[in-house]
Amino acid sequence: MTTTEPTSVGLSEKAHTLLSSMKEDGYISELTDGYKLAIGLALANGMTPGEVPAPKRTILAVSGLDPEQEIATAIRSLVDLGEGSVYRYAERLAEWGVMEMAARFKSGFLDVAALIKNPKR
């Protein structure tokens, strides 16, 4: 592998605000939980997300987010990254996922059970 992987990942300001309020409202315990959920949602929808809009905010260390590299494994299995960075891709997936969750649950309650049952809209 020639690509250098980043040691931290982030989100756009907007997505970060949304994720933070999910935590404040008690729907997730840690930002990590929401971040992973967002990645999972994006992967389940088979999205090819665009770049994270600027300004980007760094929020999580990769070692904290994916200590056993399960997320990396999942992304690599489902997506043909080529020489691309798996965690940069993860950022884009997370960005899409957070915006998608915010759009789906405008009323505020993060209905994870509904997401699991019907990940695709």
> For binding to another protein (CB under 8 A), which residues are involved?
26-30, 32-33, 36-37, 39-41, 43-44, 46, 68, 70-71, 73-74, 77-78, 111-113, 115-117, 119
CB 44 within 8 A of CB 120: yes
- DSSP 8-state secondary structure symbol assigned to residue 67: T
Q: Which of 105, 91, 100, 103 is nearest to 57 (CA)?
A: 91
Instruction: Give min distance, CB of 53 to another protein, in A.
Output: 23
The smaller minimum CB distance to another protein, of residues 36 and 92, is found at 36
Of the pair 68, 83, the CB lying nearest another protein is at 68
Q: Which one, 49 or 119, has the nearer CB to another protein?
A: 119
As given in the structure block, the two tokens for residue 86 are 């798996």
User: Are 62 and 32 within 8 A, CB to CB?
Assistant: no
